[in-house]
């Protein structure tokens, strides 16, 4: 099998994993939001009739994290050896910290949910991990990915600018704006669909024989 064909499998894997991650994380965020009344989610109490939504969201989170790691690794492989090492380090670090913080927040929330009388500390701890730290790391990941994509020409300029805007909003707004967390899975979905479209466009050229890089 030709190396060109091998490299084209990576963008497809990244796109499919990114779509799965975006849908799963988006569903988890929606379930959490509908189960917590409007206002300060850290101080709000969960409606007993909607505890199922929180439990389902916590079960979804591990799978979202797994697909995100696959998505992140495939994206990095797609950039090849031309990536900037400094930006790539920020890209990797923010992605790993995001997943670790997401899992920690889900574990903390699950512990609080199982308590008959949830402590204020436990609720604040779980909410702070998710809304403050996880989303800030997600913002850094989006910014680093957009910078790599713009520098190497992997993404078109409008897509790179969209990522920069999303990253800045997540950093500045954070948990202060309800539902702003959905910007991250929405961005991942857009990136994934773009990669899948590029892969479908490039596949006929590979099957026809001529290499994509004449040099």
Query: Residue 79: what pLDDT?
Result: 67
Query: Residue 192: what pLDDT?
Result: 87
Query: Residue 211: what pLDDT?
Result: 44
Provide the residue-wise pLDDT of the chain in tens; the chain has 215 residues.
344 444 445 556 667 888 999 999 999 988 887 776 544 555 556 666 777 888 898 899 999 999 999 888 778 766 666 666 788 889 999 999 999 999 998 888 777 776 655 556 667 787 788 878 888 999 999 999 999 888 888 788 999 999 999 999 998 876 667 788 899 999 999 998 888 887 777 655 444 444 444 43
Q: Which two tokens stand for residue 58?
A: 């916590």
The model scores a pTM over 0.85: no
Q: Which two tokens stand for residue 86?
A: 């400094």
DSSP string covering 32-87: HHHHS-SS-TTTPPPPGGGHHHHHHHHHHHHHHHHHHHHHHHHHHHHHGGGS-HHH
């Amino acid at each position: 099998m030709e190396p060109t064909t091998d490299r084209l499998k990576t963008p497809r894997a990244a796109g499919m994993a990114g779509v799965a991650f975006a849908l799963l994380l988006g569903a988890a965020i929606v379930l959490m939001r509908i189960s917590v009344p409007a206002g300060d989610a850290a101080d709000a109490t969960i409606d007993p009739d909607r505890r199922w939504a929180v439990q389902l969201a916590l079960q979804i989170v591990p799978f979202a994290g797994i697909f995100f790691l696959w998505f992140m690794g495939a994206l990095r492989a797609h950039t090849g050896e031309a990536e900037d090492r400094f930006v790539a380090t920020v890209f990797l670090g923010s992605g790993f910290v995001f997943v670790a913080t997401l899992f920690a927040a889900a574990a903390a929330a699950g512990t609080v949910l199982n308590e008959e009388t949830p402590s204020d500390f436990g609720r604040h701890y779980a909410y702070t991990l998710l809304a403050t730290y996880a989303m800030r790391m997600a913002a850094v990941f989006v910014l680093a990915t957009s910078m790599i994509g713009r520098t190497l020409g992997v993404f078109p300029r409008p897509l790179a600018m969209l990522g920069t805007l999303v990253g800045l909003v997540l950093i500045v707004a954070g948990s202060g704006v309800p539902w702003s967390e959905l910007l991250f899975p929405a961005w991942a979905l857009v990136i994934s669909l773009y990669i899948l479209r590029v892969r479908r466009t490039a596949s006929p050229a590979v099957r026809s024989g001529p290499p994509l890089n004449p040099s």
